[in-house]
Amino acid sequence: MKKSIWWLIGILVVIVAVFFGVHSYTSTHGASKSSTITVGSQGSDYDIWQYIAKSDDAKKLGLKIKVKQITDGVQLNKAVADGSVDVNAFQSYSYYLAYNKQNENNKLAALGTTYLEPMGIYSKKYQKIDDIPTGATIAIADNPSQAARGLLLLQKAGLITLKKDFGMLGTIKDIQDNPKNIQFKQIDDTTGPRIIKNVDAVLISNTVALEGGLHVLTDSIYHEKVDQSTKDNINILATSAKNKNNTNYKKLVKLYHKKDIQKHIKDKYYGTKIEVSKPLSYFN
């Protein structure tokens, strides 16, 4: 009788262990497969991620994606920091660094690279950089990272010289030499295409340019080239610092670089979103 009782107890223990083991496995792995990742984005990037979310590639990777549109970059980053959005897709590496510098208590983490969109100098009055006259007015973004990026482009174009210690949050006060006495008009960077006729030239990011019907490779009078000097302008996927090792979030990087996805992006945006698939160490 005692032996039978111990046998029954043993069998019950095994059954309970198996039950909880299966339940735990199902909860963990099932949740991972069925949980929805909310990707925050804006502009053309929002459209891209809407397409990605519905793609067969996403299904093959077991990813369920919801895309949320937030039209302000700072708010997009804050949404990721506070957890109302899981991952965002809109910003350059320099924008990301600037945000983290200004928000030390709610830092983000980069997940991986996506593309480079060349910033361009556009003008309805002049056909080339050398035609820009003395005293010309150039419109430049009023947000720190875009403004610094624009100033670096103007330096590369030969219009100004910046101080040697010019950084990612550099401003027009950091111009060392301005031989043509260029005047600067600070604007909301989303208004560039609309005010192009009101200034001699304007610096416009490619996302904004495309939305305004402009093609950086054919309509700008000067634009960024893809080289080591523009690595901080590469766009990234970002999440909150606490989620930097989330396996499913990292899969989004792999998903973005799938051949079918890249073909769609190239066809729709005329080759202006140049794929960059680099490890995060590339930024070091």
Task: Report d(CA 63, CA 29) in Å as an integer.
Answer: 13
What amino acid is encoded at 219 in this protein?
Answer: D
For the ranges 34-48, 144-158, 190-204, the maximum mean pLDDT occurs at: 190-204
Predicted confidence at residue 5, as pLDDT, reads: 56
Residues 91 and 144 in one domain: no
Q: Do 170 and 218 share a domain, yes or no?
A: yes
Tens-digit pLDDT profile for residues 94-136: 889 989 999 999 999 999 999 999 999 999 999 999 999 999 9
Q: Percent of the chain at pLDDT above 90?
A: 76
Per-residue pLDDT band at 241 (split at 50, 70, 90): very high
Domain count, the chain: 2
Average confidence (pLDDT) over 163-192: 94
pLDDT given for residue 11 in this prediction = 54
**Mean pLDDT confidence for 216-225:** 94
Work out the average pLDDT over 22-40: 57
99 and 56 belong to one structural domain? yes
pLDDT for 144 equals 83
Q: Are 221 and 201 in contact (CB under 8 A)?
A: yes
Question: What's the one-letter identity of residue 71?
Answer: T
Residue 209 burial (CB count, 10 A): 25
Q: Are residues 103 and 182 in the same domain?
A: no
pLDDT value of position 22: 39
pLDDT of residue 9: 53
CB 184 within 8 A of CB 136: no
Give a yes or no: residue 1 inside a domain. no
Q: Is the pLDDT of residue 31 over 70?
A: no
pLDDT classification of 194: cutoffs 50, 70, 90: very high
- Is this model's pTM higher than 0.85 or not? no
CB atoms within 10 A of CB 108: 24
Q: Specify the range with the lowest mean pLDDT, choosing from 4-8, 115-119, 208-212, 273-277.
A: 4-8
pLDDT for 18 beyond 50: no
**Domain check: are 134 and 154 in the same one?**
yes
Average pLDDT, rounded, for the chain: 89
Residue 15 lies in a domain: no
For the stretch 33-72, pLDDT in tens is 448 999 999 988 999 999 999 999 999 999 999 999 999 9
Query: Which residues lie across from 68 on neighbouring strands?
Result: 40
CATH of the domain at 212: 3.40.190.10
The answer as to whether 171 is a domain residue is yes
Asked if residue 11 belongs to a domain, the reply is no
- One domain, residues 202 and 260: no
Residues 112 and 192 in one domain: no
Neighbouring-strand partners of residue 137: 183
- The answer to whether residue 26 sits within a structural domain is no
Q: Answer with the residue of higher pLDDT: 18 or 284.
A: 284
Tell which wins on pLDDT, 96 or 169.
Answer: 96
If you count them, how many residues does the chain have? 284
Closest to 221 in 3D by CA, of 149, 142, 141, 119: 119
Considering the domain architecture, whether residues 208 and 82 belong to the same structural domain is answered as no
* Torsion sign (Cα): 41, 44, 48, 51: positive
Kindly state whether residue 175 falls inside one of the protein's structural domains: yes
**Domain hosting residue 140, numbered range:** 120-224
Q: Are residues 106 and 238 in the same domain?
A: yes
* Boundary residue ending a domain (178, 196, 224): 224
Residues 131 and 152 in one domain: yes
Q: Is the domain of 47 the same as that of 101?
A: yes
Mean pLDDT of the 76-91 span: 96
List the beta bridge partners of residue 121.
203, 222
The helix (H) or strand (E) run that includes residue 45 is helix 43-53
Smallest CA-to-CA distance from 141 within 106, 167, 170, 181 is with: 170
